[in-house]
Structure 1
Amino acid sequence: MVMMPPPQAQPRPIPAPQPSPPMAAANHEQGANMGFIAHDLAKRFPAYSADRFLLVDASAQTMQLVENGRVSGEWVVSTALKGVGSRKGSEQTPLGVHRIAQKIGAGAALGTIFKARQNSGRIANILTRPDQDSSEDNVTTRILWLDGLEPGFNKGGSVDSYERYIYIHGTDEEGKLGRPASHGCIRMRNRDVMELFDRVGEDTLVVIAARKP
């Protein structure tokens, strides 16, 4: 079950991915779950295609690309160090359904540092050990800028993901991937975000979910 929206918001929650069942049933269970999510997205957001969407699991620190009900790609990510939440200034990763509003950085070299979504012309030193800290919260290689689709939950007012500059992006702290580490965004390996950038378009739906403890 995903974490529920605040009292003033009433979007119907998307279910989080379930823990892996025994191997013999894993593919069937996963397919059923992804199919349910796709059906729910198609019903609630008919203006967008549910044939291809991204599913971010903030509990497992993974992101999956789902195409026609099947997982066609999976990557390790980092969501926010401070957990999940939508409030401006919280430095948390927002839950719920988003869309890719803008893709930024096509053609930029691996490790390119972006400042305010502009190519700085600098290349980051990619840190690969978990104990290494970057001197900056660098956004590198590619940017997928997210726009919330659930008013009062991740869109509008003080909970607007787009106005909070929530991205999927590359990071120079690759050694921290697989555990919460960001200031709200969804971080990826630089080669992974290059691959993802080429596989999805603007208006692709992005579901961010987390299991309750």
Structure 2
Amino acid sequence: MKIEINITEQTLTLFEGDKPVKKWPVSTAKNGPGELLDSECTPRGHHIIAEKIGDGCEINTIFVGRRPIGEIYHPVLRQQFPERDWILTRILWLKGTDAGFNLGGNRDSHERYIYIHGCPDEIDMSKPSSRGCIRMRNSDVIELFDQVDVGTIVWIIEN
């Protein structure tokens, strides 16, 4: 299995070999593509899944610091905390593999905490709105999570 994330199309495609298996809508960074620390941009290039977090957690489980906090997301919480970057359900933590581009120094995707993760289902998946991560619907991220392993290749492209 391998994953291709297309920033222009706002899609994530899962491949088995060269054959597309499934395509989902995603939301990437509101600030567009970029690799620099604190840019809140989605990094491009070759990555791998470094860690899988949340296996078996209930849908809409809220994560803070990559740990479930024992709460389940509800839209009322989003109204109470509108600026919060909700990380829900599952986390696939990415690691860049291109030294000097998305690995090491102030361009390190893993050190920037770039994830594929669930988000509130009311978020529009057709437009970029994240702070650098790749957001997915909760049921979609569970489906993806269950089909990939640590070490799965992730290509993030613009088109």
Structure 2 vs 1, CA of residues 126 and 70 (structure 1 numbering), >3 Å: closer, same or farther?
A: farther
Give the aligned residue type for 1:172. P
CA contact (8 A) 1:111 1:126 kept: no
Match 1:194 to one of 142, 145, 148: 142
TM-score, normalising length from structure 1?
A: 0.70
Match 2:103 to one of 151, 155, 173: 155
Q: Equivalent residue for 1:100?
A: 49
Trace 1:22-41 onto structure 2 (pairs within 5 A).
none
Q: Equivalent residue for 1:78?
A: 27
SS in 1 for 2:35: coil
Q: Equivalent residue for 2:10?
A: 61
- The structure with the largest strand share of the pair is 2
Cα displacement string for residues 73-123 of structure 1 (whole angstroms, at most 9, x for unaligned residues): 110000000000000000000000000000000010000000000111111
Give the aligned residue type for 1:92. C
Give the aligned residue type for 2:151. D
CA contact (8 A) 1:56 1:207 kept: yes
Q: Equivalent residue for 1:15?
A: none
Q: Equivalent residue for 2:37?
A: 88
In structure 1, how many angstroms separate the alpha carbons of the residues matched to 2:83 and 2:17?
Answer: 41
1:139 corresponds to 2:94: no
In structure 2, how many angstroms separate the alpha carbons of the residues matched to 1:141 and 1:209?
Answer: 25
Structure 2 vs 1, CA of residues 98 and 174 (structure 1 numbering), >3 Å: closer, same or farther?
A: farther
Q: Which runs of 5+ in 1 are unaligned?
A: 1-51, 128-132
Give the aligned residue type for 2:63. F
SS in 2 for 1:165: coil
In structure 2, how many angstroms separate the alpha carbons of the residues matched to 1:199 and 1:126?
Answer: 28
Give every structure 1 segment of 4 or more consecutive aligned residues whose post-TM-superposition deviation is greater than 2 Å: none
CA drift at 1:175: 2.8
Structure 1 window deviating more from structure 2 (168-177 vs 80-89): it is: 168-177
CA contact (8 A) 1:134 1:172 kept: no
CA drift at 1:134: 3.8
CA drift at 1:136: 1.2
CA RMSD in angstroms comes to 1.4
- The structure with the largest helix share of the pair is 1
Match 2:68 to one of 116, 119, 141: 119
CA contact (8 A) 1:78 1:177 kept: yes
In terms of Rg, which structure is larger? Answer: 1
Q: Which runs of 5+ in 2 are unaligned?
A: none
